Amino acid sequence: MLQEQQGLAIKPAEAAIVTIILMGLVGYMIIGLEVVPQIAILSGIALLLAYGTVKKVSFKELETAMADGAKTGIAAVMIFFFIGMLISSWMAGGTIPTFIYLATDLVSGKFYYAIVFVVTSIIGMSIGSSLTTAATLGVAFVGASTALGISPAITAGAVVSGAFFGDKMSPLSDTTNLAASVAGADLFDHIKNMTWTTIPAFILSFIVYMVISPANTNESISQMALIKTELLELNLVHWYALIPFFVLAILAAKKVPAIATLSAGTISALVISFFINDSFTGKAMMALLYSGYKSGSAIEEVDSMLSRGGIESMMFSISVILLALSMGGLLFKLGIIPALLSLVQKFLARVSMLISATAGMAIAVNFMLGEQYLSILLPGNAFKGHFKKAGLEPKHLSRVLEDAGTVVNPLVPWSVCGVFIASVLGVPVTDYFLFAFFCLFSPLITVFFGFTGISLPKQAKLQTSK
């Protein structure tokens, strides 16, 4: 794994300077200049290669480090391929169009964003996958927002918030299990302890979504009616079109491996597509899985909503992910990540600082490496002993890792989750960032609890006041 690589021994101050320059360069290019993430990350890689040359590290070693970094993303890449096929098959089989049709009924009145947040939270918790929730119901809700003529960016923020609330609190989630495992906590103790910070973040987010929701959507009813009528005329709205979703949810609940679950959801949708489309052939099915679903509607908004999915649509996301992870490999090889970890560990005199440092490192890893799992693994391994020494239980460490690691990843434009969600929803991370309230509130609340001692053991609370 990346953290096991033998890197250079450099001073923490030097590592901090290189990191600031690197993050400044990548961030400015993506956010300021609005260049595609691939070019920004390649610029960062070029900077690190130059730094490695100055430090007399051979290019062969640097190339190996980049390859090792990219290898950590192979599992995610394979899942992305299958999610791409899932989306296109769910379009052709009517699953997502049916959800869009139902969503426009659900949210045709007040509290649009709040309803989106709650529904995606429930579904996310049920299936334990934030990315699957975003790629299915998320697409439907963003499509419905287009039909209603309201903000896709805020809708995407509500989808991301709900999906990651569900992912964080579900015993089926891989990140939830990983955080508990790394910290050495019981899974259900971990989930129960997370309610201290997660429920306040949920309530605050729900209130904000209620407040900013449009007072009514009556002005868009006529346009929405046209779109619903078009979906019916395309023969894409059927009760049985929801069967693939229930297949996916049941298999996820039974903890069937992700690729098998996604495959079952795809196959069941393809079977349905043959029934609802007489002209659908085996050749068309193969093209659908690779190139995605192409809508032939007479309404531009419908085409925009439905023309999605396919393996091809995932290529952009995959290229960003592999480049970002390659950059992460260089950061380890050049000793930058280990040096930063050692720097942070020097400022742990109080529990409040320990929790803040753990949360800060989880956030930093997300921005530096763009990898959700490493944002849990690295701080978890680095601070586990410190939490024990401070009188804190493993469940307190695992909670911080989820509050500042799991839910922050979708807020990073070059991260695995950020790139994927922006691709499937059609909304850039920089557009939905400020509206993903749950993901923004969670790390703030966990740091606040660290300073106040709320939900912490008494001996740890005493240390917060020293």
Band of residue 465 on the pLDDT scale cut at 50, 70, 90: very low
Q: How far apart are CA 271 and CA 393, in angstroms?
A: 50
Q: How far apart are CA 213 and CA 387, in angstroms?
A: 41
Mean of the pLDDT values across residues 398-415?
91
Q: How far apart are CA 351 and CA 247, in angstroms?
A: 45
C-alpha closest to that of 252 among 80, 130, 72: 130
Of 263 and 254, which is predicted with more confidence?
263
pLDDT of residue 203: 96
pLDDT of residue 173: 72
pLDDT of residue 440: 96
Q: How far apart are CA 141 and CA 370, in angstroms?
A: 26
Domain boundaries, given as residue ranges, for the chain? 75-314
pLDDT of residue 408: 93
Mean of the pLDDT values across residues 14-27?
85
Burial of 264 (0-12, 13-18, 19+ CB in 10 A): middle
Alpha carbon 407 to chain centroid, angstroms: 7
Q: Among 46-50, 77-81, 238-242, 264-268, whose mean pLDDT is lowest?
A: 77-81
pLDDT of residue 234: 84
Tracing tokens 């490496």 back to the chain, one arrives at 369
pTM: 0.68
> Is it the case that residue 222 has pLDDT exceeding 60?
no
Q: How far apart are CA 290 and CA 84, in angstroms?
A: 8
C-alpha closest to that of 112 among 160, 76, 144: 144
Q: How far apart are CA 11 and CA 22, in angstroms?
A: 17
Q: Residue 141 is encoded by which pair of tokens?
A: 């809700």
Q: How far apart are CA 297 and CA 307, in angstroms?
A: 10
Question: 3-state SS of 83-121?
Answer: HHHHHHHHHHCCHHHHHHHHHHHHCCCCCHHHHHHHHHH
> Is it the case that residue 122 has pLDDT exceeding 70?
yes
pLDDT of residue 294: 86
> Is it the case that residue 189 has pLDDT exceeding 90?
no
C-alpha closest to that of 372 among 423, 398, 407: 407
C-alpha closest to that of 79 among 199, 174, 153, 205: 174
pLDDT of residue 267: 93
Q: What percent of the chain has pLDDT over 70?
A: 88
**Amino acid at position 318, single letter:** I
pLDDT of residue 337: 77
* Each residue's pLDDT tens digit, 29-71: 877 777 877 888 899 899 999 999 988 888 888 999 899 888 8
pLDDT of residue 6: 55
Contact 55, 9 (CB under 8 A): no
CA end-to-end distance (rounded Å), the chain: 38
Torsions phi, psi for 346 (to 5 deg): -80, -10
